[in-house]
Amino acid sequence: MTRETRIEVADLICPLFVHAEAGNEAITSMPGVLRRSVPDLVRECREVFDLGIPAVAIFPVIAPEKKDARGRQALAPDNLLFRALGEVKAALPGLVLIADVALDPYTLHGHDGVLTADGREVENDATVEILCQLALKEAEAGADIVAPSDMMDGRVGAIRSALDAAHLTKTCILAYAAKFASAYYGPFRDAVGSRQAQPVCKATYQLDPGNLREALREVELDAREGADMVMVKPAGPYLDVIRAVREQTKLPLVAYQVSGEYAQIHAAAQAGWLDYDRCREESLLGIKRAGADLILTYFAREVAEKSKG
Ligand code: PBG
């Protein structure tokens, strides 16, 4: 009766992976999460929507032979993501569809953008131009929300102008505003096949895990450039950032409980060291209590099922 914070199904966003194969495939480092065929993605979306989850974020797994150094497949008419968005939107017009805007599913090197000639850095402005085109194509394919997850400078404003110029005025921008250069993304990179022999270092564009003030500055910039919602990512290790962003902005605040946060609870529970259900609940309550309005979590479906009893 006196509990101050509750997780509601309507707070949850379900991340889903889609590949071009006919069947589904397990992801070893993310128990229970699958790379799904397009038809199975549509089926899963229907089920989570029926459970009361308002939104899904769809991530494409691009076949290695379609990747190159410049991520050209991102803008190709046969990009799997566009087909997936279109089919889900046609089947479930009321489900909110979120699409990442970044090149990492499409580049051989796994970076979120194109690289400079010496291959040592991401080329910010050239990347932003490509991202604007990708955002437009995602919106045209059926995305309600485009979510730049790349952390290039100036991309939110550029995407906003591009959407406006194309009269896509109803498309929202969810900015991955405070996205840290985190080791907790490891299992996600397994899922989309962007893991490299040498872990990719994204520290020139993602935030330093030690920096709170810089995170607040990124949020401020993205808000000023026209973001409709902002995100903090990862969530669990950055609860102070979530709280500080909550106090700084009036925009809806989304927290991403990332793949590594999900994997560590599973791994410890598998070893018999942690109580799976209670740690799942507690991890989400902490994120909500810190100030998040919405949580992207791989636990979304399970939480929704439990809440139905
Ligand atoms: C890519 C992207 C990443 C995640 C979401 N979009 C990985 C990265 O930046 O390397 C990670 C999500 C997760 O770990 O669950 N732009």
The one-digit pLDDT tens for each residue of the chain (309 residues) are 999 999 999 999 999 999 999 999 999 999 999 999 999 999 999 999 999 999 999 999 999 999 999 999 999 999 999 999 999 999 999 999 999 999 999 999 999 999 999 888 999 999 999 999 999 999 999 999 999 999 999 999 999 999 999 999 999 999 999 999 999 999 999 998 888 777 788 999 999 999 999 999 999 999 999 999 999 999 999 999 999 999 999 999 999 999 999 999 999 999 999 999 999 999 999 999 999 999 999 999 999 999 987
Q: How close is the Cα of 104 to the center of ligand 1, in Å?
A: 9
SS3 assignment, position 278: helix
**Domain residue limits at 287:** 9-308
Q: What's the Rg (C-alpha) of the chain?
A: 18
Which positions are catalytic?
179, 233
185 pocket-lining for ligand 1 (C-beta < 6 Å): yes
Domain assignment present for residue 72? The answer is yes
Domain assignment present for residue 2? The answer is no
29 pocket-lining for ligand 1 (C-beta < 6 Å): no
State how far the alpha carbon of 115 is from the alpha carbons of 125, 146, 155, in Å: 11, 23, 16
Domain assignment present for residue 103? The answer is yes
297 pocket-lining for ligand 1 (C-beta < 6 Å): no
CA 104 to chain CA centroid, nearest Å: 12
Q: How close is the Cα of 250 to the center of ligand 1, in Å?
A: 25
pTM assigned to the model: 0.97
Residue bearing the CA closest to ligand 1, atom 8: 185
Domain assignment present for residue 99? The answer is yes
Domain assignment present for residue 102? The answer is yes
What lies within 8 Å, CB to CB, of 46 at 6+ separation is 91, 92
Domain assignment present for residue 1? The answer is no
Can you give the pLDDT at residue 120? 87
Q: How close is the Cα of 2 to the center of ligand 1, in Å?
A: 36
Can you give the pLDDT at residue 194? 81
Dihedral pair phi/psi, residue 147, rounded to 5°: -125, 90
Domain assignment present for residue 123? The answer is yes
Q: Looking at ligand 1, which atom is closest to the CA of residue 110?
A: 10
Identify the CATH number of the domain in which residue 147 sits.
3.20.20.70
Domain assignment present for residue 3? The answer is no
In this structure, the number of other CB atoms found within 10 A of the CB of residue 219 comes to 24
Can you give the pLDDT at residue 103? 96
Can you give the pLDDT at residue 36? 98
Nearest to 61 by CA among 106, 110, 14: 106
Residue bearing the CA closest to ligand 1, atom 14: 185
> How many domains are there within the chain?
1
100 pocket-lining for ligand 1 (C-beta < 6 Å): yes
